[in-house]
A and B are shown apart, each in its own frame.
Chain A
Amino acid sequence: MDFEVIYPKIKKQSLAMLRVRYIFGILFLVSSVACVAVNLILRGPAWSVVVLWSLYMVWTLCLKLPLVDRNLINLGVRFAVMTVILLILIDRLLAPGWAEFVVPLVAYGALIVLAVLFFVNVSKQRQNVMPLVFLTVCVVIASAIALFVFSLTSWPMIVLACVAVALLVATVFTLRTRLFSEIRKRFHIK
């Protein structure tokens, strides 16, 4: 069937990322199974959990980025939460004793970076603020529990609690009613 071509020459669609994702997907799957098998055979500490979590981190943060809400704040929050979980896993499963000092340091560092990203361009980032608010609220609750229930009163924990409360107050003060509008959008069930 012969016909008139009425479409322009197209830019070659890059399928490289799809191929990279496919190859890494297989590699990650094989490595995960192999690590768990070796760990089960050799017994000892559950180091394969750390490997699995690290592979999942690379997969979600580098290879399979979100299709919606792929912005710096959202990715930064994901990265911070995943890093904290990884540190806790390493502390609990491999080398105990340092997490209660290091995790608050990493967490407040992450909060400060995310706060800078938000406050540098509030009008644009307003639509992306909710992951940061969730993270901040979670950090306030977690640090309150750590300070008042478990009496973990190291200076990084105190600084983390202060930074989180300050950030929450600053965000509420900056956005005011718009924050409630963002919450309404995020939790709608219509």
Chain B
Amino acid sequence: MSKKRMTNEYSAYIETLTDGERSRVDSFFRILDQHLRLPREWKRQLTQDFENAILWYSKNGVELDDALARLAPSKLGGFYSRPAEEWYPLDAAAKVYPLSMSHRQMAVFRLSMYLDRDVVPELLQMALTFTIKRFPFFATTIKNGFFWHYIDSAKRRFPVEAESTVPCADINVSLTGSKSFRVLYYKNRVSCEFFHILTDGTGGTIFLKTLVAEYLRLMGNDVKCVSGVLDIDGIPDASESADDFSKYVSGRKSSGFVDKPALQMGGKLSAVRPCQVIHFDMDSDSLRAAARARGASVTALVTAMMFIACKSAVDRRQGTIHIQVPGNMRTLFESGTLRNFSLYANIHLKLTEISTVDAILPSVKAQLEAGFAFEKMQEMMNGAVKLVRSVRFVPLFIKCPVARVVYGFLGDRAFTTTLSNLGIVELPEGLSEHVRKMDFVLGTVALARAAVSMVTVNGVCTLSIAKLTSDPSFEERMYSLFRDLGITPRLSGSELYSI
């Protein structure tokens, strides 16, 4: 609906109110005005968001007083009434993303929740407006420093958008106050896409859960602030925006990141990135049972299956397939940070060693256990922080081109594909009943033709494949391997995007 028509409709609605009601609405907007110390245009847009929400409530039979209570301006806190003063240096893992990004490639990932009914954009917008104040670290924009990039606070309206681009499309972070994440909606799906400088999958999940919980509250549901849903009226804790890499680094042994080049899957690289996203929805209990029957974790089982699928998607008959498996450092180190705090293990198998899932599973399992051992992760973290510290006095205009070449060639060539498993996402009462499933999509990199990610919620495990080629060999093999395990995935996804 056009903005002008919406405004006219709102004016017409106000005309229908009694004097008492109109005075309560006037008082509501007077209080709102006090909370909004923003440039005129953003203030106008935010005020209009409130008007649209009130209008939606009136059309859906919600009493005016109830609507005004749900939208109380006090829920904005002082977020929009105070100037943007905060700034944050990037954490050790995030530093590489702005250095290596190009006009065609940006590290973006996406988390989505599928609700039991279609999303109401007016209320989702309000939910984001109320939620963002709890995540001041997300209300930021990236800036160039002389030695490093940093993130600077940006007090602005953060709009929700109807989905209209490919998943994980680049986010325009170049302008003054540009946001580093976006919230999208399509039918019953709410998606958040994050530039990786902000957070990792765990932090992103907490943001999405808190956002959807607030949305459901605005819809009239009662959602408790437990199981990773933050209280939006709570005061953000310093630990949430802490760089825990620096906190836990120790001066002991460190390990490097350079690895031998991996075999890459075949298929012409697409100009549109990703060119397709495919989701496999599975019963999580069946998948876990299949893994347990083999004495392995779900991650190990799926990694082993990916080796087989990669083998069927490469043309060469010699070489090594490397699968990068990110791991959550919060499981090893006590941390409440919402920023990046994950590293990865690189699992290798020679093409000639890859035969059946059961045959390679012990090796995959052993490599995963070794890769995610505390000492190994500590060494890797030491290595990351040491690397960052060693180049801290090199100006950004020198670091940028070097990092682009190193990351583009050495980083991307070092792995065939990625498997990122977020694990089981716990949802609190009130939210759980309204969420059918979640999905987690990784943005594609320069060469790897597929990026695989998984998340489980409410007994549904969703494996997503973001593709960089139209060659279907990889996902077809994955599908047949799941069927061989006795699990028939329900398939969904996007059409093949092409220009």
Contacts and interface: CB of A to CB of B under 8 A. Distances in A.
Given A3-B491, A8-B164, A124-B39, A18 B104 contact: yes
A188 B174 contact: no
A127 B493 contact: no
A4 to B, nearest CB: 4
Contact of B186 (A8, A12, A66, A127): A8
B255 interface: no
A133 to B, nearest CB: 12
Given A5-B492, A70-B175, A190 B148 contact: yes
B476 A69 contact: no
Contacts of A8: 162-164, 186
Among A15, A18, A68, residue most surrounded by chain B Cβ atoms (within 10 Å): A68
A1 B479 contact: yes
A10 B165 contact: yes
Interface residues of B, number: 56
B143 A3 contact: no
A187 B144 contact: no
B192 to A, nearest CB: 16
B398 interface: no
User: Is the contact region of chain B dominated by helix, strand, or loop, or is it mixed?
Assistant: loop
Contact of A68 (B98, B104, B164, B272): B98
A123 interface: yes
A1 B472 contact: yes
Interface string A89-101: 0000000000000
Nearest to B472: A1
Contact of B166 (A10, A64, A186, A188): A10
Contact of B174 (A18, A21, A69): A69
A18 to B, nearest CB: 7
Contacts of A68: 98, 142-144, 149, 173-174
Interface in B104-143: 104, 141-143
Interface string A150-190: 00000000000000000000000000000001000111111
B152 interface: yes
A12 B175 CA distance: 23
Nearest to B141: A127
A124 B145 contact: no
Contact of B101 (A18, A67, A70): A67
Interface in A120-143: 123-125, 127-128
B89 interface: yes
Contact of A188 (B83, B142, B147): B147
A43 interface: no
B479 to A, nearest CB: 6
A11 B497 CA distance: 10
B322 interface: no
B165 A11 contact: yes
B146 A128 contact: no
Given A2-B491, A10-B166, A71 B103 contact: no
B148 to A, nearest CB: 7
B15 interface: no
Contact of A65 (B165, B174, B279): B174
B423 to A, nearest CB: 23
Contacts of A4: 491-493
Among B98, B145, B279, B491, residue most surrounded by chain A Cβ atoms (within 10 Å): B145
Given A5-B493, A127-B143, A189 B392 contact: yes
B103 A18 contact: yes
Interface string A51-73: 00000000000001111111100
B47 interface: no
A127 B322 CA distance: 43
A10 B103 contact: no
Contacts of A185: 87, 143, 145, 150, 152
B499 A7 contact: no
A71 to B, nearest CB: 5
Nearest to B497: A10
Contacts of B476: 1
B51 to A, nearest CB: 25
A12 B499 contact: yes
Among B85, B103, B167, residue most surrounded by chain A Cβ atoms (within 10 Å): B103
B179 to A, nearest CB: 13
Contacts of A64: 103
Among A1, A123, A187, residue most surrounded by chain B Cβ atoms (within 10 Å): A1
A4 B277 CA distance: 12
B272 A13 contact: yes
27 contacts: A1-B479, A4-B492, A6-B492, A7-B186, A7-B277, A7-B494, A12-B499, A13-B166, A13-B497, A15-B271, A18-B103, A18-B104, A64-B103, A65-B174, A68-B143, A68-B149, A68-B174, A127-B152, A127-B177, A128-B176, A185-B150, A186-B144, A186-B145, A188-B145, A188-B150, A189-B392, A189-B393
Closest 8 pairs between A and B when the two form their complex, measured CB to CB: A3-B491, A70-B174, A7-B494, A190-B89, A4-B492, A189-B392, A6-B492, A69-B144
